Amino acid sequence: MKYIVLRDDDANGTTPISVLEPLYRPFLDRGLPIHLAMIPSVRTDIHRTDGELEGFLYGKSEGIAGTKPMEENQALLDYVRHESGYVPVLHGFTHEIINGRFEFDRDEPEDIARRLDRGLAMFQAAGLGRPLVFVAPQDQLSRSSFREVSKRFDVLSLQFLSLKKLPHQHWPAYLGAKFIQRRPHLRLGRTAALTHPGCILSYNKPPAGMLERVLDAIRPNCVTVLVTHHWEYFHPDGTMNEPFVAVLHALAEHFGKAKDVRVIRMDQARNYIA
C-alpha cells in the first residue's frame, strides 16, 4: 500500500473561495483529505525574487504594505470549517522575507517562538482548532526554527533536510535515514519530519506527462507528500489554466479508484515512517 499526503500552500486572509472550490471539489467529494497550509497574518506586499508580487495575494490590499489576518476572511474560514475534507495546518506567520532571509530561515529563537505562538493562537481564535502540522514557508527552516517547531508540533513538512540546519542531536538519525535506510522521512524526537519530492504539480512544468511524473514519484516510497499551490492554476487575468487543472482532477480520479493507494492526513502518515 502506498500512502499519499496532499498539501496545498499559501491560503490566507486574501484568498477567495473561488480559487479553491473548483480545484478541490473532486477530492472532497471522494473523501480525499487536502491539507491547506494557511498563513495566519500574511504580508500583503511580498515580492518574489523576480520583483513580482506573490501570486497568492488577492484583492484591494494586494501590494499595499501591511498584513491581512485570516480572521478578516470569514468566507474562507466558514468554507474550510464546513468542508471536513480540508485539514488546516500552520504555514509560517506572515510568509515575509526579513533582511533578505525567509521568515523561518533565521536564527532568532525568541522571534520564531513568538510567531509560532501567535499563529497557533490565531488558528484557535478562528475556530480551526490547534494544528498538529507546521509547513515551513519556502520549505526553509533554520536550526533555531527546527527546535521551536519540534516543541509545538507533531509533524513538520518541508522539501528536504540538511545537516547544516538540523539540531546536532538529530544528526545520527538523519545520517542513518539518508545513507543506510535510504528513507526520505525522519523522526525528530516527538516530531515527524515529512519531506517531499519537489513541486511536480507546478505551473512551471508542462502539463503533458505531468500525471505520469507524479505517479513515478509515488512508486519508490511508502509515504509521499505531494505539494501544489492553488494560485498557480490560474492565469494572471484570473482565467483557469484548463490543461493544468485537468491533471489535478485526473489525479483525484486515480486516487479515488486505485486499490493500492490511500490518501491520508499527515498525523496519520507519521505512523508509517520508521
Mean pLDDT of 62-72: 88
Query: Mean pLDDT throughout 240-253?
Result: 98
Q: What are the C-alpha distances in Å from 138 to residues 39, 73, 97, 198?
A: 12, 23, 10, 11
For residue 238, pLDDT beyond 90: yes
For the chain, domains (ranges, CATH) are 2-272 (3.20.20.370)
What is the pLDDT, as a whole number, of residue 168? 86
pLDDT category, 180, cuts 50, 70, 90?
low
Q: What pLDDT does residue 274 have? A: 65
Cell of 80: 474550510
Written as one string, the DSSP assignment of 44-62 is TT-B-TTSPBPTT--STTT
Cβ neighbours of 205 (radius 10 Å): 15
Q: With contact defined as beta carbons under 8 Å apart, do 35 and 225 qualify?
A: no
Q: What mean pLDDT comes out for the span 49-73? A: 87
**Residue 174 pLDDT:** 80
Confidence band for 143, pLDDT divided at 50, 70 and 90: very high
Choice among 46-50, 86-90, 119-123 with the minimum mean pLDDT: 46-50
Give the chain's mean pLDDT: 94
Least confident stretch, 54-68, 95-109, 141-155: 54-68
Supply the angle between the helices 242-257 and 21-29 in degrees, to the nearest 10. Answer: 10
Cα angle 252-78-269, degrees, rounded to a multiple of 5: 45
Q: What is the pLDDT of residue 183?
A: 79
When pLDDT is averaged across residues 14-27 and rounded to a whole number, the result is: 98
Angstrom CA distances, 78 to 16, 17, 60, 82, 92, stand at 12, 10, 21, 6, 21
Q: Which of 1-5, 147-151, 168-172, 180-184 has the lowest mean pLDDT?
A: 180-184
pLDDT > 70 in the chain, percent: 99
pLDDT confidence tier of residue 64, bands split at 50, 70 and 90: confident
Three-state DSSP at 257 gives helix
What is the per-residue pLDDT for 132?
96
Q: What is the dihedral of CA 232, 224, 92, 16, to 10 degrees?
A: 40
Residues 60-81: what's their mean pLDDT?
A: 91
Q: What is the pLDDT of residue 187?
A: 87
Cβ atoms of 27 and 34 within 8 Å: the answer is yes
| For range 261-271, the mean pLDDT | 94
Instruction: Supply the pLDDT for residue 186.
Output: 86
CA pair distance 210, 198, nearest whole angstrom: 13
What per-residue confidence (pLDDT) applies to 92?
97
Which of 85-94 are b and which e, b meaning 16 or more Cβ less than 10 Å from the residue's Cβ?
Answer: bbbbbbbbbb
Mean local confidence (pLDDT), 176-189? 79
